[in-house]
Amino acid sequence: MLSKRIIPCLDVRDGKLTKGIKFKGNVDIGDPVDMAEFYYREGADELVFYDITASHEARDIMLDVVRRVAERIFIPFSVGGGLRTVEDMRAVLLAGAEKVSVNSSAVTNPQIIAEGSRQFGAQCVVLGMDVLKVPKSEQIPSGYEMVIHGGRKHMGIDALWWAQEAERLGAGEICLNSIDADGTQQGYEMELTAMISSHVSIPVIASGGAGEPQHLADVLTGGKADAALIASMTHYGHFSVAEIKDYLSERGIRVRKYW
Amino acid sequence: MIAIIDYDAGNLTSVERALRSLGADCAISRDPESIAQASRVILPGVGRAGAGMASLRRLGLDRVLADTVAQGKPFLGICFGTQIIFDYSEEDLTDCLGLMPGKVVRFPVDHRDQAGEPLKVPHMGWNGVDWKKSHPVFAGIPEEAEFYFVHSYYLQPASDEWVAGTTEYGFPFTSAVARGSLVAVQFHPEKSGRPGLKLLENFLAWDGKEGGDAL
């Protein structure tokens, strides 16, 4: 049986690691390449790098980070943040990433999903979704709306509709981030995750809100997620990936135990 | 020199990087002559059957690969590079290389596990392998090791004789095959951490003679 994946997320700015709390007050906590190798050895199943700078100069710094990571870790990793064109995607994949993640750029230009999928294969294209809970309306029947710019801009697009549309366009996976839960460490947005996961046939990675191992157990069972993104709970040493996996395994959730 | 075959099938650098980390002398190549001179050959790949076969034929690599196998040179297929060595793939209804008797078929559209729960397609992530044969390339890999998979189509060898390992996803499917000097796996050893690197290391040391005893 397929194991549930535990995926640490590393936010990178100007080539250094950060962790934002609700996307504000980022603080530097180290070198992303060292951190990637640390997580690789600790049993992470995959890594996500999110480049929160998008200036042109920072792009090259990030590509260098990707190249150095690819030389040192031998598990899949994806890179997202500021990828606006198929050429941007190609540069990241050639530097050694397994997957690219598109978020805001896909909302404003959905064809980037189709084009990326056609050129590199659907398995390379992850759709990142930032979602905010809103009152149900005719325009937003699911009660979850797509937002961009860290939640500052509402797009008037229903999250469930968008997930299905992205699958149709050729996305290979969805990384589903709840803006409401992000940074709270109070648990994943269960209702949102279960709803999206049961309405698409591609894997869904739950993101936002992880604070303790129980939160992962919840979202990987009742939340129907295929994988769980973590950040603060392991970045600051409160938990190790191995401890989280032991916890999940004891509760009958299949995880990769040998690495 | 180990030739990593370049046929426009994506992400060859990860295989190269993994081999380099093991100290191997390897090169990504699409040149039939240098591939013919290589000591061993790896056919990796992420792609589609139709486009992949078209590239191999256009580059004249279909014949080189057939020669490689006929000469008993160690040959490793990875993921899509494994699917394309079979006779036929349902993907794009494609006649493939025919180096391994059998075909490649898609997971069912409404795929479910034995409890009736829906299973996602592609089969993406870490899964175990139930090894069916002892083989030098799979030696020293613990039972509990898992490997990284990404695929929507799976292998159906014409005979169980060549099945080296199976993986459970709704039903057991063939995830590793071995026949003579040819070994091929559905997963990505270059992205499967320590057990994957062990498999590659074994392949680098293998003389191409089959172990092949049933477990």
Give the pLDDT confidence score for residue A21 in this predicted structure: 41
Determine whether the interchain pair A74/B145 forms a contact, defined as Cβ–Cβ distance below 8 Å: no
Residue A43 placed within a domain:
yes
Determine whether the interchain pair A258/B191 forms a contact, defined as Cβ–Cβ distance below 8 Å: no
* Closest Cα in chain B, distance from residue A80 (Å): 17
- A230: which strand partners? A8
Residues of chain B with pLDDT under 50: none
Cα B211 from Cα B137, distance rounded (Å): 9
pTM of the model: 0.94
Q: b/e string for A156-186 if b means 16 or more Cβ within 10 A?
A: ebbbbbbbebbbebbbbbbbbbbbbbbbbbe
Q: Could you write out the DSSP letters of every residue in chain A?
A: -PPPEEEEEEEEETTEEEEEETTEEEEEEE-HHHHHHHHHHHT-S-EEEEE---SHHHHHHHHHHHHHHHHH--S-EEEESS--SHHHHHHHHHHT-SEEEE-HHHHH-THHHHHHHHHH-GGGEEEEEEEEE----SS-TTSEEEEEGGGTEEEEEEHHHHHHHHHHHT--EEEEEETTTTTT-S---HHHHHHHHHH-SS-EEEES---SHHHHHHHHHTT--SEEEE-HHHHTSSS-HHHHHHHHHHTT-------
Query: Do the Cβ atoms of A147 and A159 come closer than 8 Å?
Result: no
Exposed (0-12), middle (13-18) or buried (19+): which is B160, by Cβ within 10 Å? exposed
Residue among A99, A245, A256, A257 with most chain B CBs within 10 A, to mutate:
A256
Q: Which two tokens stand for residue A187?
A: 């648990």
Q: Which two tokens stand for residue B86?
A: 């079979």
What pLDDT, in 10s, does the model give residues B35-77?
999 999 999 987 788 889 999 999 999 999 999 999 999 999 9
Count of domains in chain A?
Answer: 1
Cα A61 from Cα B169, distance rounded (Å): 40
Query: Do the Cβ atoms of A154 and A147 come closer than 8 Å?
Result: yes
Per-residue tens of pLDDT for chain A, all 259 residues: 899 999 999 999 888 887 644 333 455 457 899 889 999 999 999 999 999 876 666 778 899 999 999 999 999 999 999 899 999 999 999 899 999 999 999 999 999 999 999 888 888 999 999 999 999 999 999 999 999 987 889 999 999 999 999 999 999 999 999 999 998 999 999 999 999 999 999 999 999 999 999 999 999 999 999 999 999 888 877 899 999 999 999 999 999 999 8
CB neighbours (10 Å) of residue A27?
9
Residue indicated by tokens 């013919």: B36
- The answer to whether residue B146 is catalytic is no
Q: Which two tokens stand for residue B177?
A: 């095959």
Instruction: Give the residue extent of every domain in chain B.
Output: 2-208
Q: Which two tokens stand for residue B37?
A: 């001179």
Across the interface, of B21, B123, B145, the residue whose CB is closest to A2 is: B123
Give the pLDDT confidence score for residue B165 in this predicted structure: 98
Cα A108 from Cα A73, distance rounded (Å): 33
Query: Would you call the peptide bond into A110 cis, given omega within 30 degrees of 0 as the criterion?
Result: no
Check which CATH number belongs to the domain holding A149 and give it: 3.20.20.70
Whole domain around residue A22: which residue ranges?
Answer: 5-250
Angle at A20 between CA A59 and CA A145, to 5 degrees: 90
Residue indicated by tokens 């950060």: A18
What fold, for B2-208? Rossmann fold (3.40.50)
Residue A60 placed within a domain:
yes
Across the interface, of B17, B120, B149, the residue whose CB is closest to A201 is: B120
* Closest Cα in chain A, distance from residue B75 (Å): 21
- The answer to whether residue B79 is catalytic is yes
Q: Is B13 on the interface with A (CB under 8 A)?
A: yes
ipTM of the complex: 0.93
Query: Do the Cβ atoms of A61 and A16 come closer than 8 Å?
Result: no
Contacts of A2 in chain B (CB under 8 A): 119, 123-127, 149, 169
